Amino acid sequence: MSCISAEARGKLRSATWLLLHVRESVEIIQLDGVVESQVAALYKHFERARQILRETAPELSNLPEGVTGGTAPEHLNGLALHARRLIEWIDTAVTGLHIEFAVR
């Protein structure tokens, strides 16, 4: 049975953490208004998370269903799904705020 490497698991967790940080920051911006100095840092985190997800995608796609089948955060598929949903939420939110780093 093939299994994802510890490195890829760690990267997936890191990407999810970065996306959670960006989402929380965007929520604050929605309440308080856009602070230009924050946007560059958020974009950097957002792009790094997307890069990590691209790097781990091939390894995740080769896993058996039993390893990736769950959707809870402790399952790898759950983390990947959560990350994708965070990206979609962030994209929608920053587009609505007219912040220039929506996913293209």
Domain that holds residue 88: 7-96
Q: Output the six-digit token pair for 43.
A: 């974009």
Give the model confidence (pLDDT) of 48-89 as tens digits.
888 887 887 777 665 555 444 444 444 566 667 777 778 888
Examine residue 58 and state whether it is found in any structural domain, yes or no.
Answer: yes
Look at residue 34 and tell me if it is in a domain: yes
Q: What average pLDDT does the structure give for the chain? A: 71
Among all chains, which residue has been given the structure tokens 């790094």?
A: 48
In a domain, 101, yes or no: no
**Assigned domain for 103 exists:** no
Within-domain flag for 102: no
- Is 86 part of any domain? yes
If phi over 0 gives left and psi between -120 and 50 gives alpha, with beta otherwise, what is residue 98?
left
Contact residues for 48 (Cβ-Cβ < 8 A; gap 6+): 15, 18
